[in-house]
Amino acid sequence: MRALLDSLKSLYPLDDIVLQRPDLAFATVPAAQVRGLLHHLKEREGFTHLVLLTAVDWLEDGMFQLTYLLHDRARARDLGLRTLIRRDRATMDGIHDLWPTAATYQRELKEMFGIDFPGSPGVDDPFVLEGWTDLPPYRRDFDTKDFSERNFNHREGRVTHDPAAHMKRHLYPDEA
């Protein structure tokens, strides 16, 4: 894995490289370089499987972090690529032409975070939240409590008991 990372560093501006295990590493790359690096990893380095594409909302920094996790079956190794994009212009190049399964991840990230992947198949179609008109729910500034209070009737909660006291009453009723 170290040899691969050294080779990639000579071709792409990698940063924050973390070798978690001999078969797993993560690196950060500028958003403009992601697509080219992913293409290189798939076509030249054997990373033929896109394991996942996910996002983290760094609200305080005004950024989203996208993480692409790739797997090389032949060499049994995984490589995660991280990139940062601005929250206020949450747009990223699609990779559905490299891995068709990416279209599903991209569609989910559009609906749940508001990150757009222009040209990705079905990216604007509802994924899970059919008819949703509010702020994307995985954004950290989405107020779950406020949304619930505005959209659902109030229902009294159930009574919570201390587990130790509850079990003592049920196991040893004469001592309670």
Please state the CATH superfamily assignment of the domain spanning residues 2-152 in this structure: NADH:ubiquinone oxidoreductase Nqo5 subunit (3.30.460.80)
DSSP H stretches of helix in the chain: 2-11, 31-44, 102-113, 144-151, 163-171
Q: What angle do CA 14, 17, 22 make, to 5 degrees?
A: 125
Q: What is the pLDDT of residue 162?
A: 87
| Per-residue pLDDT reduced to its tens digit, 88-103 | 989 999 999 999 999 9
Side chain identity, residue 146: D
Using CA atoms, how far apart are residues 163 and 160, in angstroms rounded to an integer? 9
Using CA atoms, how far apart are residues 66 and 37, in angstroms rounded to an integer? 14
Using CA atoms, how far apart are residues 88 and 58, in angstroms rounded to an integer? 12
The model carries a pTM of: 0.85
| Per-residue pLDDT reduced to its tens digit, 66-83 | 999 999 999 999 999 999
Output the average pLDDT for the chain: 94
Helix (H, G, I), strand (E, B) or coil at 139: coil
